[in-house]
Structure 1
Amino acid sequence: MRAARRRTAAVVAVALSATLLSGVLTGCVGPAPARTAGGTRTAAAAPTPSPTPTVDAVEAYARQRLANMTLRQKVASLFMLHTPGTDPAALRGYVDRYGVGGMILMGDNIPATPAELAAQTAAMSASDPGLPPLIGVDEEGGDVTRLGWDDQPGADTLRSQDPAATRDAFARRATLLKQAGISVNFGTVADVTADPASFIADRVLGTDPGAAAARVTASVTGERGTVLSTLKHFPGHGESEADSHHAVPSTAVSKQDWSTRDAPPFQAGISAGAELVMFGHLAYTQVDAAPASLSAAWHRILTDELGFRGASITDDLRMLQDTGLPQYQDPGENAVQAIAAGNTMVLDVLPAGGDPDALIDAVVAAVQQSRIPVAQIDADALKLLELRRSLSAEE
């Protein structure tokens, strides 16, 4: 997401083996022993988890909902959009009007207190509590912090500390997000670079593949079961200094070198259970001249080679428009190409006056013109329905 949207409100071959990493993290997971009055040590009682639907029930519910949706409703559910402001009624109205599957909160959506934010997010889900929208935020810590009350360190601090510190910071951060009603954190930067001139340098969790992979794993582990984790920005910004907020960074790095230098943190995060992967607007020209966010080749690599089976999402498509390149000035066509390439969900922070209906209509038309298979829309919509249903406390 936009590096310029910084601190607001007042302000991942893995070189480390799985054995080493688990050794780093062992001892901090699970309830600590407790001592009874007589001095005998017993296991502390685990907290009672919130009720969530079973996997079979989630799938059955999602399939039933899908069967009753129109094509337009399915397409609309593939969008995560943004509208400014902190008025709960207005935010709820936006979700209800367009039927989007998610909303991203930017700095202009964050009120002064956690209670106010929780009220906003609750309102956004109130119309259909059995199927809440995905509510996402960029909460990395450090340079990219949306919640002014998040005092946990970011990558600039964590990459010089033991991976356990990353796990702990992201666990606490995830708790803050869940308390505020936020279900998706676009917070785990899996890019890796040792180049201080790179625009992503201050945000990476490690300057070499092994260090980054260890802390990406720790980040996902910390968030696990509290919020949905996102790995970004696939396939990795570390091979170019250019900023994708103003250009489409390009690199001639070979696929083999990418597999060695850039893939390990993403593979580690996937193995740790990250539910989402965000595709970046950058081109590895030896694989595809198109930006990865619009590249079917990179989506195949993610699924077939890295084994990812979760939901993929674009980085903010508005960034492509902001490059000024003529081929990216039609937001509807950008959305069509993104879904056709294989993204499960499209993220677009529309500018003032942006038209969500136009985006949805463009994708519907592309389906009707056979540019995107109906079966693909159904599969994407079902995946997101299952993800959203899994967030509901309803049985």
Structure 2
Amino acid sequence: MIVYELKIKGKQTQYQAIDDAIRTSQFIQNKCLRYWMDNKDSKVDKYALNKYCAVLASEFPFADELNSMARQSAAERSWGAIARFYDSCKKKVKGKKGFPKFKKNCRSVEYKSTGWKLSDTRKAITFSDKKGIGTLKLKGTYDLNYYDIKQIKRVRLVRRADGYYAQFAIDEAARCGGSHRCSDCRVDVKVESQPTNQVVGIDLGIKYFIADNKGNVEESPQFYRKAEKQLNRANRKKSKKFSKEKKKAKIRQSNNYHKARNRYARKHLKVSRQRKEYCKRLAYSVIQSNDLVAYEDLNVKGLVRNRNLAKSISDAGWYTFRLWLEYFGHKYGKVTVAVPPHNTSQNCSNCGEKVKKSLSTRTHLCPHCGYTEDRDVNAAINILRLGLCTVGHTGTYATGDLPSWAIGANLSSNGESLNVESSSL
């Protein structure tokens, strides 16, 4: 599954219609969740929620205006949260199990195979439901003429701080209508590449974004840290225009407040895009230079609970880098191995003895063999050794799981499309 994202251009009334469709999708999603909470004893499943969408359409006229498959897509979002909760309970995950929550600020609405139609030139898309979105122009460098219409499984409209976007989820192995797989309609993301006869182990850190076993390091860009003063200034300007009296009276805030809020959101969006593009290009470079890449299987969600390092870890973007590393590894036929991170920084890469050190100690000095090396480089050597031991037994992914971008046809719930490539790659 690959995802293409194009910016859409339309009139203000069309943007308001998109916002209305997003609110309706959120309403159906929350209603389905309430229906499940009120009928737990009757074993409500995915199909029951889909049927409940028809009940909501008959009861609420504004819900009936939304395309039927878009309503089902909203119900599937609710069921996705419920299924994850059930899965956490079955696996007996420690701590909170992720009980589904009601949504209050959705930013997207998703259509399946109906309710939309691309123009002959594939430069415009028309939505035919009763919301009145109409025809929107598509702006971008991606050419949708390369793909068959039947390969586009999902279309999502996303609202961001700098405008509205359309995402197209394209199936890699779509069928052209028959029972066979048509080679002409197949989207193959894999690209043949020449072997480099190189292997690398990389350690992710805060001081250095990555350090490999050969001693090469890449400085952490710290996009958020560099933009923090501007972000705080924009946040203060936004707060000054906020009225507590209007909030208590449930009156809409002033236009100046919403303008300041949009400026603040744009700055955050810029930082997010800078981080994503940096991770993308660095992962591409690592994959192109090596045939095997070993890296740490870090639990980033658990690491950010450290209140002293949470901002630095979030600013680094380790998880985004891993996603792109796995995606490019799949595309170019390279081996990517995620290894357990336990004691990779503590063990000596020369003699194997454990040398305890605090996080502030940046140099590895082994008292057993006298080996001296940078802490991150020592960890990278251990990671490569573990990766080489693992790859012959469990395949590409040490955990036995497929990368997240390769699972399912649904787009990510927050509107992000992690496997959208830059036109220059």
TM class by smaller structure: under 0.3
Higher strand share: 2
TM-score normalised to structure 2 length? 0.24
Which one has the largest radius of gyration?
A: 2
Normalised by the length of structure 1, the TM-score is 0.25
Return the structure number with greater relative CO, CA threshold 8 A, min gap 6. Answer: 1
